[in-house]
Each structure stands twice: as structure tokens, then as C-alpha cells.
Amino acid sequence: MQTAIKFENVNKSYGKLQALAEINLNIKQGEFFGLLGPNGAGKSTLIGILGGLVNKDSGQITVLDKDIIANYRETKKSLGIVPQEITFDPYFTVRETLAIQSGYFGIKDNSDKIDELLQALSLEDKADIGPRQLSGGMKRRLLIAKALVHDPEIIVLDEPTAGVDVELRNSLWEYVLQLNEQGKTIILTTHYLEEAEALCDRIAILDQGRVVKVDSKENLINSIDKKVVQIKFATQTSQLESRLADFDFKIAAAGKEIEIETAKADLNKLLKIVNKFEAEVVDINIESAKLEDVFIKLTNLGGADN
């Protein structure tokens, strides 16, 4: 599989602050790739360098095997970057904004693509009004449309659903997944870890400017030895709590409900103890580790927001 983006020994510092340290990543063409990390991990700096808004100190970045500096015109056409910040020229309508954005890439008549994006992002009824009249969520939709209007091969989504409603999230991911199925490479940064877990094929976790882990979503989650058993009984659980006290389980109980965390190898032992309790079970749920568990384990700041 061809490489979409390759970061080689990329470094960036701001005075004494080392924002990025020896970043090496190889993102494959057609991947849905997650770039995760706590506040200050370096995600936005890395995307800023990729988009030409931040100058790296050293290292090399290639897009579809072309250096982003030596071949900046070609590589910019291959990239569609949705930034976190919402900025627009207030003097043009939504449709005019997208037509002007198309012109930056030498596309003179792009009405079909503009119509497709307006429909996909539910902006059709806002096409002839200015950005000042849009809500925050609608402005975010327009920002996404601007990044996609030149039909780039690689789409970078930097916190695309921050502060937007559930309806937009669902419609956006539906459209982005369609693009990915068509062969587009998607790179996502998000603090909604459930989004990354649901969407991404591979994930890189950054912390303090360094890549601490890159692996498939499945391998990352399976690296956490954890099962969480949630049980609801018909009667109080205090007697069961006392029976479990002698074992290496993490227990949280309230009334008739109990949640028990255990290693995978001890799951059968736990279920045998529960069965011997001979109390009526109303409901039981068993969950494995989640991406959030991996994130907390690998990063110093745990689940802090960016």
C-alpha cells in the first residue's frame, strides 16, 4: 500500500519548549488514521507544519512521496485540512466562499462538487447567506466544506466535531466514511475518544511532543488486561461484596448493583463466585477495555482536553 504521508525525524521547538521531538509516522493511503494526545502533546503543531502554517526545525515530511517544501503546490492540492479555528471572509455567501476556495486550486467551474458538499453537510438552505448569519455548528460545516471542495486525496480533520450537535456529527461521519470507502485517506484528531475508537483503523498516541505508541486500534485495546462486569441483583449486594473482598478485584457497589473490574484470566473465577452467591440476577453486562483506558495508561495527562 502506498504511503500517503510520511513524517521523518520531525522536530519543532518554541524557545526552550520542545513541541515535537523526533516524530516518525508512516500513514498509508486509504487509512482512517487517528492522531490522539492530551493538551500540549503536539498534534496541532504537527498539522500546522503539514499545512505550511508552521515551520519545522528539522526533519522531512512527504505527501504521496513528494516533499511538502520542494513540491508545495502539488502537495497542497493533495491535502484538505479542517483546522480547529473558525475563520471566514464575512463578505461572501456560503456558495461564493466555496467557489473562491475552489479557485485557489485552479478550479474554475466546481458547481457540482459544491452542490454535493452543500447537500452532504446540510448547508443547502444556507447557500446564499453570509457566514455572519450562520450558527457555530453551521460555521463548522462550512469550514469542512472549504477543506473538501477541491476533492483532495488526503483529508485532515483537526477536532472537526468540537462544539457541534449530534446531528452534524452523525451526518459528517457518514459522509467521511463514504469518502474513506472511495479511497480517501482520513487523518483525525479528536478528544471524543469514542469517535476514534469507532472510526479509526490505526492510531498514534502523542504525549509531550513524542510518539509514545502507534498500532492498530484492536492491538491497542487488547494491550489492556481488563474486564468490567456490571451486575444488577434482585436483592442487596453486601454479602457478595464481603465474599469478593478476599480476591484481587476492584469493586464499586450501590444498592442492588455492583461493578467489578478484573483481569481477563480471572473472569471465570469471578463468575463462579457470583454463581455460588445464589442471588437472582436481573441483568449482567461484561465489557472489555476501551481506547480511553489505553490513552490514560500511555499519556501523562490522562484524559485532559486539548
Is the per-residue pLDDT at 30 higher than 70?
yes
In this prediction, residue 300 carries a pLDDT of: 61
Average pLDDT over residues 74-100: 92
- 114-119's contacts with Cβ under 8 Å and 24+ in sequence apart are 114/145, 114/149, 117/145, 117/148, 117/149, 118/94, 118/145
Q: How far is Cα 61 from Cα 103, in angstroms, rounded to an integer? A: 26
Are 24 and 9 in contact by the 8 Å Cβ rule? The answer is yes
Q: Cα(184)–Cα(188) distance, rounded to whole angstroms?
A: 13
Express each pLDDT in 242-299 by its tens digit: 778 777 788 888 888 999 998 888 888 888 888 888 788 889 999 988 999 999 989 8
> What sign does the CA torsion over 129, 143, 53, 38 have?
positive
pLDDT of residue 145: 94
Is 6 a residue whose pLDDT tops 60?
A: yes
> Which pLDDT score is estimated for 62?
97
Residue 264, pLDDT score: 85
* Whole-number Å distance between alpha carbons of 126 and 114: 13
C-alpha cell at position 99: 467557489
Specify the range with the lowest mean pLDDT, choosing from 45-59, 63-77, 128-142, 175-189.
128-142
Q: Write out pLDDT tens, residues 129-173.
A: 998 898 888 888 899 999 999 999 999 999 888 777 787 788 889
Amino acid (one-letter) located at 254: A
Q: What distance in Å separates the CA atoms of residue 29 and residue 18, rounded to the nearest whole number?
A: 29
pTM of the full predicted structure? 0.86
What's 125's DSSP letter?
G
- Whole-number pLDDT of residue 295: 92
Best CA proximity match to 115, nearest among 105, 127, 131: 127
- Ordered by where they begin, the domains of the chain are 3-222 (3.40.50.300), 227-288 (3.30.2130.10)
Q: What percent of the chain has pLDDT over 70?
A: 97
> pLDDT (tens digit, 9 = 90+) per residue, 207-251?
999 999 999 999 999 998 889 999 999 887 777 877 787 777 888
